[in-house]
Structures are given as structure tokens and as C-alpha cells.
Structure 1
Amino acid sequence: MESKGSMLKLSLCHLLLSFSVSSAGSFVVNVTQSWYHAEENHNISLEWMFPTSTDPSPNGLYVYCEMLADERPSLMFHLYEGVEVPELQDKRFAGRVQWDKDVLREGRLRLHISRLQTNDSGLYWCQVDTSYGMNYKECHLNVTAVKDPPEPETTSDTRLRRIGLYWALGLTAALLVLYSFCLCITKRMRDQYN
């Protein structure tokens, strides 16, 4: 097993070599969507498609995916000779990016990003390099903040209860006054007849 430093050097050399060598015009990398929109704390799948060969071996497959933002590029996913290299992944994506190994043979790279954060918004690009060609494609991800649900209006609920209580007390007092008045009139009428 190679050390992390030598793997990084090999990966960077391979990436630089890939950029300097022009690939055949028939090798095209595409995305299923150019723009993705999601809310924070949700999950999303980004997908790139590329041509496959009759050789089923992934040994000649190199994939390098980055997220480009205002701060600096962040390595999201790296496949070296068909093997994932999670040690090189940026810490911000650690444990949040998974890939579908099954669809890779069909020429699809599907990356699942979980627990999205607003700072995951940006430009994502993946370069696919094989023995029969190399190319890259980019897509955009926009992650919006979760809108807070409106807080229950406890102040108006309390106010309504208080108003109801005042009405009940006022009505009770009015009924007591009316009852007392009726008692007084009834007593006066009895006294007059007696």
C-alpha cells in the first residue's frame, strides 16, 4: 500500500498529465442536470455520464471531482485506478459523500451528498480519465437555508384568553348586579303587599 503523500503526488501528476494531453473528440462527459437546487439538511445525488469500453476492468479509470467555491477548491471524490481514495477527500465532505459502484460500469458516476449545508453551494466538476479518453463536465448546486416555521403566537393566544376571562368576569358581575336588583324589587313588592 502506498503512503498518503505518494498517492497524492501520483494523483496530482496524473491530473496535470491529463490536462496537458488532449483526448479524442469522441470521449464526452455529460451531467444529468446542469443546475441542482436543494434545502440544507437534505440529501442530493449529482450524476455524470461518460462512454464505456468493452474492457470491464476499472483499473484504468481515474475520477477527480472538486467543488469550486469562493474560498478554495475542495476535493469531494477521488477514484484512482478504480479504487476510491477517501484519505484525500476534503474534511468538509468526509462521511457525507457516497458513490454508486454498481452504475460505474454503465458509464455513470453518481455521488450522493448527505446533510447538505448552505456552504455546499457552488460549482462542481468531475474529470473522468480512462485509457480511451479524458474529459470533464461541471454542474452547479444551490443549497438554500431551511425556512424556520412560524412560531406559535403565544402572545395573542394569551391575550385572547385574558379578554375571554375579563368578559366572563364582567358578565358574572353584571348578572350578580341584576340578580341583586331583582331581589331588592321582589322584597320591596312583598313588603308593600304585607
Structure 2
Amino acid sequence: MICIILLLINLTSCVCGTFVVNVTQSSYQAEENRNITLEFTFTTKPGSSLHSLYIYCELLTDLRASVLFHLHGGVEVPESQDEQFTGRVQCDKDVLREGRLRLHVSRLRTDDSGPYLYEVFTNYGGSAAQCRLNVTAAADEPKPQRITGSPQPGSLGRIGLYTDSSSPDSLCRTLLCLQS
């Protein structure tokens, strides 16, 4: 049944004109634990309703496809989203009518890397596009430096105070020792 619907949508796009999906960038680079916005555009038709808009975005890996975002009849379907992306993807719905979709992905992980397929279907056409995201491991935080070795010439190193009161010929001898 789904194949028949997709075939009808495809045939409709052939009769009604060209429907195009474009990615804003074909490749994205980010560091883990950072946020990124994936964006693509699609052909719109004046007077069309969001109720006729179907969007399916997924990460394609060797093992399986993971659903990043799913919009069915203009309504988000969070239960179809893969657990890997749960709570980390926000859609900017304000720009859908303009033919743009922005997906904000937060707290990136290295396993978010790979090719992403965007499929868009409307009552006037359908198409798909793909981009790639590469998430690298976060750089280690620089460690605080400890000063080791001897002090620079001309600076004071250690200051010590030595008192000797055991000497019989003096009540108290004091020696101030400076080392540099």
C-alpha cells in the first residue's frame, strides 16, 4: 500500500512539475557534545497546506537506519524517532511554509556521524536529498601547568629563618638564609 502511495506521489510530481529537495550543506563537521543545525529546502506551492506535508529524515548506517525526524500530515511523530535521538532534536516549524526545514540536534555524539537521508512528500510532489555529518571526539581539556625546576636568576627562591640559642657566648644568634 505504501509503495502505491509513493508511486502516485511520484507520478503526480511528473505531471504537475518538478519537486526538488536540496540540502543547504552537503557535509557538516562538528565536535561531540556540541550542537548543530541541519537544514534543507524543498519546493513549495502557493496555498498548499502543511497537512499535506510528509517529511522523513534518517541516519543511514551499515547496521540499520535510525529515524532522526518524522513529520506526517504536518504533525511531528515523536514515537517513530529512534532512541538515539530522543530529546535531542528540535524542529524549527516557523519556516516550513517557506519550504525550509531546520533540525537542531543537541549534545552530538560520535555515533551521530554518517549520511542523512531527507525525504519530502506533498500532494504536489516528492523528492529526497542526502548530506553527511562527521562528529569528532571532543578535545581533552588542557591540564593546568605546574611550574617545575629552579627559579629564574634574580628571583628569590626560598627564604628561611634559623635561630640558634644554644651557644654559650651569645644569648641568641640569628641567621637569615636567603637562597636564590
Q: TM-score, normalised by structure 1?
A: 0.71
Give the letter aligned to residue 117 of structure 1: R
Q: Report the equivalent of 2:56.
A: 64
Counterparts of residues 88-167 of structure 1 (less than 5 Å):
88-154=80-146, 157=147, 159-160=148-149, 163=150
Amino acid paired to 1:87: E
Percent sequence identity is: 54
Match of 2:65 among 73, 77, 80: 73
Matching residue's letter, 1:74: S
Contact 1:76 1:93 in 2 (8 A): yes
**What's the offset of the Cα at 1:57?**
1.5
CA distance in 2, matches of 1:51, 1:168: 73
CA displacement at 1:38 relative to structure 2: 0.6
2:82 maps to 1:82? no
Measured in 2, the distance between the counterparts of 1:18 and 1:30 equals 22
CA RMSD of aligned residues (A): 2.5
- Taking the aligned partners of 2:83 and 2:47, their CA distance within structure 1 comes to 34
Q: Secondary structure at the match of 2:93?
A: coil
CA distance in 1, matches of 2:87, 2:29: 21
Query: Which 5+ residue runs of structure 1 have no aligned equivalent?
Result: 1-12, 173-194
Q: 2:131 corresponds to which letter in structure 1?
A: C
Structure 2 match to 1:3: none
Rounded Cα–Cα distance in structure 2 between residues aligned with 1:137 and 1:70: 19
Out of 24, 34, 39, which is 1:42 matched to?
34
Q: CA deviation at 1:125?
A: 1.0
Deviation of 1:150 after TM superposition, in Å, equals: 3.1
Gap regions ≥5 residues in structure 2:
161-180
* 1:55 paired to 2:47: yes
Q: Which residue of 2 aligns with 1:5?
A: none
Q: Name the aligned partner's letter for residue 100 of structure 1.
A: D
Q: Distance between the aligned counterparts of 2:101 and 2:120, measured in 1?
A: 9
Task: Give deviations 1:92-130, integer Å, cap 9, x for gaps.
Answer: 100100001110000001111000011110000110000
Paired amino acid for 2:60: L
Contact persistence 1:74–1:90 (CA under 8 A): yes
Residue 29 of structure 1: aligned partner? 21
8 A Cα contact 1:46 1:112, kept in partner:
yes
CA distance in 2, matches of 1:32, 1:87: 27
Partner Cα separation in structure 1 for residue 47 and residue 105 of structure 2: 29
Q: Distance in 2 between matches of 1:136 and 1:74?
A: 16
SS at match of 1:64: strand
The structure that is helix-richer by fraction is 1
Aligned length: 154
Deviations 1:63-85 (A, max 9, x none): 11101123311011111111000
